[in-house]
Amino acid sequence: MASSTVRVDLDGKPINQLTICMIGAGGFIGSHLCEKILNETQHKILALDVYNDKIKHLLEPDSLSWAGRIQFHRINIKHDSRLEGLIKMSDLTINLAAICTPADYNTRPLDTIYSNFVDALPVVKYCSENGKRLIHFSTCEVYGKTIGSFLPKDSPLRQDPAYYMLKEDASPCIFGSIEKQRWSYACAKQLIERLVYAEGAENGLEFTIVRPFNWIGPRMDFIPGVDGPSEGVPRVLACFSNALLRREPLKLVDGGESQRTFVYIKDAIEAVLLMIENPSRANGHIFNVGNPNNEVTVRQLAEMMTAVYANVSGEPALEKPTVDVSSKEFYGEGYDDSDKRIPDMTIINRQLGWNPKTSLWDLLDSTLTYQHKTYAEAIKKMMSQPTTS
């Protein structure tokens, strides 16, 4: 519950109550951000999304103590004239709306580009024209591949951080060829970043750009056949959770050699709240938000999730817990991958003093406990039903 004592920013100044237009509020990150804002601050939220299942618990019943501070607007920003009015009513707009599951990038490249670039354009324009602050969600994928990935496999330079550490103000954006449609998302995100940056430079837009590095936790994506399409392919946490719940082997794409750093959603949301409440420190900046200490290969992630889930569910792990699949088989033609993603934390540390806290083991424990409680019964029921031929 938000306390009645005056909250202050990082410079000791009282924080004014804000009205926040949150686009994509019904998604994974949006649901956690709404929860945090309602629980710990007095800010008001205009929550825009096509769906609201993940924030239903925040909207109902009317008797909730924060009921007057969150208003849901079912809006598709592609074609809704109410968007500009809602941005005008707010002090700050946060744009989270996007298609952001890799299975879509090479199979629905047009939808991906429209969602991540074209549909975000009016949001930037309305903020700029109306003098409103914007926090825009980009992605760590704008870095693409590391410089080191082009070195020979046995080159000692691969161990040198200069060849893999991803820095907001120094690293290049390295994508594959146009046929590798995987990069449609990264490229669209890069162009909207450049547009936001240019609006700042030429027209004085007050902006912050966030580059999330694999934020994971409860409510991420969907479990196919339970709360999402049976044939849908969510991001890796939900893919692996789905396999564990069904007692099927976890699929390792191209050997599971790619590396990722995972950060707990609750740590990451603290960074976003600092950006919201410290505009003088956050405006004009691009921030990596990730946990450089939580690096694993996808294979190691599969092994850790298998061990944690056995503990959480009380069921022994499969004898063969993983199976190799090719990326062509799993994602189709045009897939490609980021080899390694370690965020440099210098800028976010200097501006906001933020550091992630939760280890990969701990965040997997709480997340898989949630997955088991939320889905195990539904999956059991579904699997016990005879399949129609």
Ligand X SMILES: O=c1ccn([C@@H]2O[C@H](COP(=O)(O)OP(=O)(O)O[C@H]3OC[C@@H](O)[C@H](O)[C@H]3O)[C@@H](O)[C@H]2O)c(=O)[nH]1
Ligand Y SMILES: NC(=O)c1ccc[n+]([C@@H]2O[C@H](COP(=O)([O-])OP(=O)(O)OC[C@H]3O[C@@H](n4cnc5c(N)ncnc54)[C@H](O)[C@@H]3O)[C@@H](O)[C@H]2O)c1
**Interface with ligand Y includes 363 (CB under 6 A)?**
no
> How far is residue 25's CA from residue 49's CA, in Å, rounded to a whole number?
6
**Interface with ligand X includes 258 (CB under 6 A)?**
yes
Q: Are 207 and 200 in contact (CB under 8 A)?
A: yes
Q: State the minimum distance, in angstroms, from the CB of residue 239 to ligand X.
A: 3
99 versus 310: smaller Cβ distance to ligand X: 99
Task: Tell me which residues are annotated as active site.
Answer: 185
**Interface with ligand Y includes 77 (CB under 6 A)?**
yes
**Interface with ligand X includes 119 (CB under 6 A)?**
no
Looking at residues 135 to 164 of the shown chain, list those that interact with ligand X (rule: CB under 6 A).
Answer: 139-141
According to CB under 6 A, which one of 24, 26, 27, 102 is a site residue for ligand X?
A: 102
Binding-site size, ligand Y (CB under 6 A): 26
**Interface with ligand X includes 29 (CB under 6 A)?**
no
Q: Which does 128 bind (CB under 5 to 8 A by kind): ligand X, ligand Y, none?
A: none
- SS3 per-residue string spanning the chain: CCCCCCCECCCCCECCCCEEEEECCCCHHHHHHHHHHHHHCCCEEEEEECCCHHHHHHHCCCCCCCHHHEEEEECCCCCCCHHHHHHHHCCEEEECCCCCCHHHHCCCHHHHHHHHCHHHHHHHHHHHHCCCEEEEECCHHHHECCHHHHCCCCCHHHHCHHHCEECCCCCCCECCCCCCCCHHHHHHHHHHHHHHHHHHHHHCCCEEEEEECCEECCCCCCCECCCECCCCCCCHHHHHHHHHHHCCCEEEEHHHCCEEECEEHHHHHHHHHHHHHCHHHHCCEEEEECCCCCEEEHHHHHHHHHHHHHHHHCCCCCCCCEEEECHHHHHCCCCCCCCCCEECCHHHHHHHCCCCCCCHHHHHHHHHHHHHHHHHHHHHHHHHCCCCC
43 versus 251: smaller Cβ distance to ligand X: 251
Paired tokens of 117? 């670039």
Segment contacting ligand Y (CB under 6 A): 60-68, 91-99, 199-207, 368-376?
91-99
Q: Which does 305 bind (CB under 5 to 8 A by kind): ligand X, ligand Y, none?
A: none
According to CB under 6 A, which one of 108, 167, 235, 246 is a site residue for ligand X?
A: 235
Sign of CA dihedral 350, 353, 358, 363: negative
**Interface with ligand Y includes 360 (CB under 6 A)?**
no
**Interface with ligand Y includes 78 (CB under 6 A)?**
yes
Q: Which does 98 bind (CB under 5 to 8 A by kind): ligand X, ligand Y, none?
A: ligand Y
**Interface with ligand Y includes 383 (CB under 6 A)?**
no
According to CB under 6 A, which one of 212, 217, 218, 343 is a site residue for ligand Y?
A: 212
According to CB under 6 A, which one of 20, 46, 55, 96 is a site residue for ligand Y?
A: 96
Q: State the minimum distance, in angstroms, from the CB of residue 85 to ligand X.
A: 30
According to CB under 6 A, which one of 41, 90, 93, 115 is a site residue for ligand Y?
A: 115
140 versus 304: smaller Cβ distance to ligand X: 140
Q: Which does 260 bind (CB under 5 to 8 A by kind): ligand X, ligand Y, none?
A: ligand X
Q: Which does 253 bind (CB under 5 to 8 A by kind): ligand Y, ligand X, none?
A: ligand X
Looking at residues 278 to 317 of the shown chain, list those that interact with ligand Y (rule: CB under 6 A).
Answer: none
Q: Which residues of this protein are in contact with ligand X, per CB under 6 A?
A: 100, 102, 139-141, 214, 235-236, 239, 251-253, 256, 258, 260, 298, 337-338
